[in-house]
Amino acid sequence: MIEEKIIPIHFAPLQGFTDAPYRNAHAQVFGGVESYYTPFVRIEKGDFRSRERRDVEMKNNTVPHLVPQLIATTADEMRKVLGLFQQEGHREADLNMGCPFPMLARRHKGSGILPYPEEVESLLRCMGEFPDISFSLKMRLGWEDSTECLALLPLLNSYPLRQIALHARVGKQQYKGEVDWDAFEAFSKGCKHPLVYNGDITSLEDIIEVRNRFPDLSGIMIGRGLLANPALAWEYQQGATLSDAELLSKLKTFHTLLFEHYEARLQGDAQLLTKLKTLWEYLLPDMDRKIKKKIHKCTKIEIYRGLVAEALRG
């Protein structure tokens, strides 16, 4: 399947899934991704979480193009996180105004900030204090309804942003229900920045449908779809589909890289299993359900190894 216009694919961040080891292994085995975005870094009880700090350290990242992401309510929080990014040598940053989780949204973080233009403007003004950093934005249509993004458009258009990635749902939907094509289109018509589509991309057909529906897009951002099929971006960029045997072979290599990395750093089998099991929450959604259930329930690493070998047997 060879298409005329190939646009960049960006790997959306998912907290608890797309950490540095995952991103590095994905880039090494699969690729096809223009930019890898880190899960957001935040200020919690006045400081950074150590794992979030490690995740954005340059020495821990080997992907071709990394964009660190932050989440904040106030300019002071944002300054602290951007200071960390600068310290690590980053020259790009992405502001998360899309996270739909209620615990954060109630504190006006992520998509919970969208109904409050004055708070959004405070963060946008803060960007001007960091002229050496190029900023992008990841957002939703709104928290409660899609008119919120349209109300913010004049404000967003007045600030220099590298691009905006827009998930075509409101925050209260989280990941449920249908995406709102009409609301995305309305935003796209008024947006002066390069626009990236995000939301429910799980196949080559989905990518092509979105690209054809919105031909002026500067890219497509995929999260859960790439967790389910890590080869999706490569397949789109190459205009080819991996055979089942080829995909399983690559997944074996991918899993081995992650297994060896986490085995060397985590304490004991229980921690290792807990981390590795997260891979299977999205990976290969059409695989044998009995095997997947056994993977999630197993408590011994050798049993896990056997189940994975069975799942990835070509």
Name the domain boundary from 238, 267, 293.
238
Return d(Cα 1, Cα 9) in angstroms, integer.
17
Evaluate whether 90 touches 133 at the Cβ level (below 8 Å).
yes
Report the DSSP beta bridge partners of residue 69: 94
Domain identity same for 225 and 248: no
- Asked whether residue 170 is domain-assigned, the answer is yes
Global pTM reads 0.96
In this structure, the answer to whether residues 217 and 251 fall within a common structural domain is no
The domain in which residue 195 lies consists of 9-238
Q: Of 211, 238, 265, which one is at a domain's C-terminal end?
A: 238
Whether residues 90 and 15 share a domain: the answer is yes
Tens-place pLDDT, residues 286-305? 999 999 999 999 999 999 99
Phi and psi, residue 67, nearest 5°: -120, 110
Q: In angstroms, what CA-CA distances link 174 with 38, 110, 132, 144, 295? A: 19, 12, 34, 11, 27
Residue 3 lies inside a defined structural domain of this protein: no
Same-domain status, 167 and 120: yes
| 92: in domain | yes
- Please give the pLDDT value at position 4: 66
Q: Which one-letter amino acid corresponds to residue 282?
A: Y
Q: Where are the alpha helices (DSSP H) in the chain?
A: 20-29, 50-56, 75-87, 102-105, 117-127, 147-157, 181-190, 204-213, 224-228, 232-238, 244-265, 268-277, 289-297, 301-311
Would you say residue 1 has pLDDT above 50? Answer: no
pLDDT digits (tens, 9 = 90+) for 66-75: 999 999 999 9
Same domain, 96 and 174: yes
pLDDT tens, position by position, 154-172: 999 999 999 999 999 999 9
pLDDT tens profile 7-66: 999 999 999 999 999 999 999 999 999 999 999 999 998 899 999 999 999 999 999 999
Is residue 131 pLDDT above 80, yes or no? Answer: yes
Q: Does residue 57 sit in the same domain as residue 126?
A: yes
Q: Say how many domains are in the chain.
A: 2
- Pick the last residue of a domain from 200, 218, 238: 238
Q: Report the amino acid identity of residue 106.
A: R
Give the Cβ contact number of residue 243 at 10 Å.
10
Same domain, 59 and 180: yes
